[in-house]
Amino acid sequence: MGENVEDYKLIFEKEGVYLHTNAKRSVQETSIPGFIRIVERAGQPALEWSPLEDEGRSAPAVLYSKKDGEGSEEDTNFDPGYEPDWAVISTVKKDREHAPVKDSGQWAFSLPLSELYSLRRARFSLGRNFMVLTSRGGHPLPPLHFHRGGTRELLRALHHYIILDQSPVDGRLFLVYPRDSSSADFGPSFDKLHILDDGSDIVTRFIHDPYATTFGGFSKVTNFFRAALRPPEAAVSRSAQDPGLPSQPDDEPGFELITCGVELGPRPQVTRGRPLVQWEEFLDSEGRLNDPEKVKDLVFRGGITPNLRKEVWKFLLGFYPWKSTSKEREEILRVKTDEYFRMKVQWKSVSEEQEMRNSLLRGYRSLIERDVNRTDRNNTFFSGNDNPGLTLLHDVLMTYCMYNFDLGYVQGMSDLLSPILFVTQNEVESFWCLTGFMDLVHQNFEESQEAMKQQLLQLSILLKALDPELCDFLDSQDSGSLCFCFRWLLIWFKREFSFEDILTLWEVLWTQLPCDNFHLLIACSILESQRGELIGSDHDFNTILKHINELTMKLDLQSVLLDAEAIYRQLVGCKDLPRQVKQVLGLCSPPSPAEESSDSQSSETERLLGQAEGGAASSHVPSYP
């Protein structure tokens, strides 16, 4: 093995464990047979995989090599399918350095068990068993496919070195702790798991290298949360649930296809309504709206006729209070106009010499000028040179920097303003409508990007409840983080639908009906519409990303809205809906930090071993009560 025999000890070995590589990024075969081993090197246990062709050589001490000769180098030629610099923040911060991925000419990896963070077992209906491992440093490993079984034996061997704490809400996810850890008896609190402690700018790295970044920062987050759907109830035997159900002839008893666990019931049929065409009939003699909720419901059902948008959007975006009178709105407009131009004068009066000493303002102006020149230029309102629409777009964005200097301007905000400016065609009104819109989405653009991470997690929770098989497929193709949905959520599908469709979609979302997170149900609707194209295909990570990006301008908005509302009604109609799903839908309050930290995770290692010894007849499938 190329090292001192006294320093090397083979503990466990299993042949027939395949690594499915990414065909677009490798010249090798896409399915590589190999060995999985547990070894001790100088007394330190490690989990290793090496291809059959490498027999006779020791596995290199690397976590994961992307492809032959590449190591951790970024693929600068990868085309994500859209402008790479449309996205968020260019600043990259790191709280700590993790072990780097070293150069290697092989797919082999060696991971010390002290660095193993989680283990997830899965099986999608038409595929083989596979296992997903994630390291504590955020370096995930490619899924290991056990074509000839062997997961039971591997778990038994691992049991001598680590504690496997089953997630109390999913039988397939196990968090790993050393045998000598204080967590052997009591599962750690959520904070101790460091699920969201990645301080680096994940999104910027995703834009520059979607492949590497999706495997990195988001992996340990989504692998935990997407699985966290089931309430902490004891596992229920499959045969106990349905004695008439035949047992599966599989030597891997823990790998049954696990569905949502609750009967969601049939998806109801819903219909869209006509757009809001009457406005005056909702106003009393003083110009006050009689029934704002009725107006919102009409907008949600059918949108707004184009000639009314200019007026109604000012209510939807908070420029005018819903119960304001005509006179009150006149006063609001006067005050807001004065306030706007006072802020505009602030940046207009800055001399070139002053600006040279203000790098932040100079940077904002540079970004705005660049983005304005390429925002919706196919729309007649912004087309051509020396267009007054472009001047308004620039001035409103510069003034927003004065209004919110901490946030300033972030790429993507011009996409949010252009439809508003097109509808209002008024500088002051478009500015204050933009501030209302930003009140809803400003966290998407903040440097921490915690809001974007949280939305991806919430989307995972919803999709897992709706279509666990699709989630398992995406997991098997290293796409379980759903990072390819990032652009959808950041700018509310602005680049996925036509300009006219976006006007309708946004006014529907601004009603915040039937829940604040309806945009996540829109995303679920789109993903479900593509399941037939994805499952059973030859897609890998890159082709999934490419396919999703190519949906731009090919989606039917009315169908998407119908399906999204039907999904909401289906979920709400489920009596045993998991608490996490209810929280995403706003049907219950999230737990307080005290409640969250008080929940411990009991060790499930012995149950796993007992289950393995009992064979398929004793297999357990986590279930909802």
Query: 211-233, pLDDT tens digit by residue?
Result: 334 333 333 333 333 333 333 33
CA distance 526 to 534: 12
Which residues of the chain fall below pLDDT 50? 1, 23-28, 56-105, 124-127, 181-260, 596-625
CA distances from 295 to 158, 299, 501, 518 (A): 60, 6, 20, 18
CB 434 within 8 A of CB 343: no
Q: What is the CA radius of gyration of the chain?
A: 27
Q: What sign has the CA pseudo-torsion 338, 343, 344, 346?
A: positive
Question: Crossing angle, helix 413-424 and helix 499-510, to 10 degrees?
Answer: 90
pLDDT at 25 (0 to 100): 43
| C-beta atoms surrounding 351 within 10 Å | 7
Cβ(590)–Cβ(177) under 8 Å? no
Q: The tokens 């991971």 sit on which residue?
A: 111
Residues near 115 by beta carbon (within 8 Å), at least 6 away in sequence: 63, 99, 135, 136, 137
Taken as a whole, the chain contains a residue count of 625
* Neighbour count for residue 82 (Cβ, 10 Å): 13
Tokens of 383: 């087309």
66 Cβ contact list (under 8 Å, min separation 6)? 25, 72, 101, 211, 212
Say how many C-beta atoms besides its own lie within 10 A of residue 31's C-beta.
12
Sign of CA dihedral 256, 260, 265, 266: negative
Peptide bond into 514 cis (omega under 30): yes
| φ and ψ of 111, to 5 deg | -120, 115
Q: What is the DSSP letter of 90?
A: -
Burial class (CB in 10 A: 0-12, 13-18, 19+), 192: exposed
CB–CB of 40/558 below 8 Å?
no
Give me the half-sphere count of Cα atoms (radius 13 Å) on the Cβ side of residue 479.
23
pLDDT in tens, 297-329: 999 999 999 999 999 999 999 999 999 999 999
Residue 543 tokens read as 């082709």
Per-residue pLDDT at 616: 38
Compute the distance between CA of residue 573 and CA of residue 252 in angstroms, rounded to an integer. 35
Sheet of 162-166: strand order equals 109-112, 44-51, 31-41, 8-20, 144-146, 130-135, 116-122, 173-178, 162-166
The pLDDT value given to residue 110: 87
**In the prediction, which pLDDT does 166 show?**
72
For residue 160, give the nearest of 180, 174, 179 by alpha carbon. Answer: 179
CA distance 125 to 142: 20
Q: What domains can be seen in the chain, in order of their start residue?
A: 1-53+106-180+190-196 (2.30.29.230), 200-228 (no CATH), 304-441 (1.10.8.270), 450-585 (1.10.472.80)
What's the pLDDT score for residue 389?
94
